């Protein structure tokens, strides 16, 4: 019998429905049992007939009962859930084995953070930029103003290419600051470099295609390509950048960081650039140019891009992770219209579009001058920290014992050791002394090069000096 608890604050029909479902699922009301007519049950329980009708309607709509004119309301045949331990599986479906994914995630985490240690005092992280309260204040201001002015149309399903006003602001920046002249339909907004690479792999390559990457190089690039079942071929890097002669002849794509080589830090020589551009046209492969920190140059203006010289074969990747902050998760790909259209189709199918609020805020941030003021401010910060780093390395004698490279551009430099040097032991000893450095081996596929990628964006001048002196005590 169903009962009503007058002290219970939940509706009476809900109380009775819960009891009825419990009776069915526990087998108290077995499959096929006829329930009393609503009028009769209402009298027995002491409620109105309409209350019982609501309960019966809910039971029927949820599949616990079946009804017909002659047979009345019956408990459905499948409504009863067996409590037998033999029939009930204690677990859900087994998880698939994804060794490639698991190893890639572990490797990526190791590359990003190195060995975890709660006692790290000075972290020469090469992946993150400098942020301060002024940035936070300006970003908050743009966030509030952009959200207050956004019309209702902004909150619908967005353009898979990205928010139009943001692409217009990026177009203006590329034109006036980088000398890259494109239409807005040659720009697609993405959520970071890995997202960009993943879209490129899906849209422009086939499973099993050969892809050439720098070695040492950007680990997320080859990890993403491998996960998309591409044949990844490492290409050595020397003091002139990617060794173009070593590119696999069957390559459908070459990933390169010419303005500041990821890890080694060298600038790709002009002759190598021209050789690569000529080869791309001759062999009809894509060049993916990742310009992740080329805006920060300490000898003159940023270098001309490959894209500006060969736009029909090149996809230019830019990211606001280094220029603004990784947390906003906004980057862009610039390329030929047909290629960008293909990327937008994949984006529409798999992601639909990026969250609108970050795009609104960044568009406002750029349009109202906050972005360029931020860039001028952080360039001054980076210049001072770059000078402090190079000075400390030379004064301690590390520059005499090890090869220093990558000091003209970007937010990191390389302190390279001989291949016989025990890089792992030195890295661990530095960690014990409260210094986190990032081993070059984490950036390598088959290369045996050793050393440490040292970032200076997040370390102030005093900490840089202290950290380099401690490192010298370990390495010298």
Q: What is the pLDDT of residue 88?
A: 57
The percent of residues above 70 in pLDDT, for the chain, comes to: 96
Q: Tens of pLDDT along 158-174?
A: 899 999 999 999 999 99
Rounded Cα distance, 354 and 456, in Å: 31
Rounded Cα distance, 24 and 47, in Å: 21
Q: What is the pLDDT of residue 113?
A: 67
Domains of the chain: 12-75 (1.10.10.10), 101-131+373-475 (3.90.1150.10), 133-368 (3.40.640.10)
Phi (first) and psi of residue 405, to 5 degrees: -140, 165
Q: What is the pLDDT of residue 401?
A: 94
Q: What is the pLDDT of residue 105?
A: 77
Q: What is the pLDDT of residue 90?
A: 66
pLDDT surpasses 70 at 86: no
Radius of gyration for the alpha carbons in the chain, expressed in angstroms and rounded: 31
pTM of the predicted model, to two decimals? 0.84
The percent of residues above 90 in pLDDT, for the chain, comes to: 73
The angle, 0 to 180 degrees and rounded to 10, between the axes of the packed helices 133-149 and 356-367 is 110
Confidence of residue 79 (pLDDT cuts 50, 70, 90): low
> What average pLDDT does this structure show over 250-263?
96
Phi (first) and psi of residue 76, to 5 degrees: -65, 160
Q: What is the mean pLDDT of the chain?
A: 91
Dmax (CA) of the chain? 98
């Amino acid at each position: 019998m169903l009962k009503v608890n007058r002290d219970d604050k939940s509706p009476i029909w809900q109380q009775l429905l819960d009891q009825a479902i419990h009776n069915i699922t526990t087998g108290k009301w077995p499959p096929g049992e006829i329930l009393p007519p609503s009028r009769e049950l209402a009298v027995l329980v002491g409620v109105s007939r309409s209350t019982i009708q609501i309960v019966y309607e809910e039971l029927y709509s949820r599949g616990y009962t079946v009804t017909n004119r002659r047979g009345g309301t019956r408990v459905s045949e499948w409504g009863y859930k067996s409590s037998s331990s033999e029939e009930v599986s204690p677990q859900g479906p087994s998880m698939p084995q994804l060794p490639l994914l698991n190893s890639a995630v572990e490797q990526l985490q190791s590359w990003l953070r190195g060995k975890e240690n709660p006692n790290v005092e000075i972290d020469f992280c090469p992946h993150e930029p400098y942020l301060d309260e002024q940035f936070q204040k300006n970003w908050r201001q743009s966030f509030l103003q952009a959200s207050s002015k956004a019309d209702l149309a902004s909150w619908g399903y967005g353009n898979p290419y990205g928010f139009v006003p943001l692409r217009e602001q990026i177009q203006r920046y590329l034109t006036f600051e980088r000398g890259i002249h494109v239409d807005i339909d040659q720009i697609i907004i993405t959520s970071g470099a890995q997202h960009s690479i993943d879209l490129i792999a899906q849209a422009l390559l086939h499973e099993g295609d050969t892809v050439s990457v720098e070695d040492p190089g950007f680990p997320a690039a080859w990890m993403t390509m491998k996960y998309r079942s591409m044949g990844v071929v490492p290409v050595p890097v020397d003091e002139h950048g990617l060794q173009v002669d070593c590119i696999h002849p069957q390559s459908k794509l070459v990933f390169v960081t010419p303005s500041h080589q990821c890890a080694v830090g060298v600038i790709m020589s002009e002759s190598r650039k021209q050789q690569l551009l000529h080869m791309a046209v001759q062999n009809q492969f894509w060049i993916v140019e990742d310009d992740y920190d080329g805006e920060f140059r300490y000898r003159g203006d940023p270098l001309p891009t490959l894209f500006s010289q060969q736009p029909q074969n090149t996809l230019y990747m830019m990211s606001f992770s280094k220029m603004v902050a990784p947390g906003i998760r906004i980057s862009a790909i610039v390329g030929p219209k047909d290629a960008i259209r293909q990327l937008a189709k994949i984006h529409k199918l798999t992601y639909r579009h990026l969250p609108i609020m970050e795009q609104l805020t960044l568009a406002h941030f750029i349009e109202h001058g906050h972005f360029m003021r931020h860039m001028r401010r952080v360039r001054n910060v980076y210049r001072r920290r770059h000078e402090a780093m190079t000075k400390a390395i030379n004064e301690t004698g590390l520059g005499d014992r090890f090869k220093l490279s990558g000091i003209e551009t970007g937010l990191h430099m390389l302190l390279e050791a001989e291949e016989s040097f025990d890089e792992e032991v030195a890295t661990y000893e530095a960690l014990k002394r409260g210094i986190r450095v990032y081993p070059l081996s984490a950036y390598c596929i088959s290369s045996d090069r050793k050393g440490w990628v040292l970032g200076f964006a997040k370390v102030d001048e005093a900490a840089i000096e202290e950290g380099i002196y401690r490192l010298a005590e370990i390495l010298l």
